[in-house]
Amino acid sequence: MVQSTAATVDEYMTTLEPGRIAAMTKVRDLGRELFTGWTETMAYGMPGFGPEGGPPVFSYNSQVQYISLYAGKAAIEAFRDRLKGASLGGGCIRFRNPDKIDFDLVADILKHVRTNKGAGC
């Protein structure tokens, strides 16, 4: 996993490769919309969201070959049938091509994480 040394999510976003900015911005915007009242933070070298005062229960990262979403095992199991073509591992969903990310699916995953408050992560 590639870890950033950025102190803030805004700073992290300025370090992204040009071909990944749009997709990563969309993930961030969905997080801001769907995790209202939660804290957006940098933890473990990547941006994430979690309930106030707690650790992130959803994180995302731009890695060498993938855009990765750390949504937890429960989210992967809930959406496994819709995640065809994505690389899956533990609680991580990896998308190789940023232009082919299904953001309706990402929104559904984030809603699942929010509803379950990260259960199964």
Domain containing residue 23: CATH number: 3.90.1150.200
Let me know: does 114 contact 51? Beta carbons within 8 Å. no
- Over pLDDT 90: what percentage of the chain? 84
In a domain? residue 3? no
Read off the pLDDT band of 3 (50, 70, 90): confident
**Distance of alpha carbon 107 from alpha carbon 67, whole angstroms:** 15
User: Region 99-109: what's the mean pLDDT?
Assistant: 97
In a domain? residue 1? no
**Distance of alpha carbon 121 from alpha carbon 104, whole angstroms:** 21
pLDDT at 120 over 70: no
User: pTM for this one?
Assistant: 0.92
In a domain? residue 121? no
In a domain? residue 28? yes
In the chain, the number of structural domains is 1
Query: One-letter amino acid identity for 5?
Result: T
Read off the pLDDT band of 118 (50, 70, 90): low
Q: Residue 121 has what pLDDT?
A: 45
Full residue range of the structural domain in which residue 103 is found: 9-116
Q: Residue 119 has what pLDDT?
A: 52
User: Region 4-22: what's the mean pLDDT?
Assistant: 94
Task: Count other Cβ atoms within 10 Å, centred on residue 80.
Answer: 11
pLDDT at 53 over 90: no
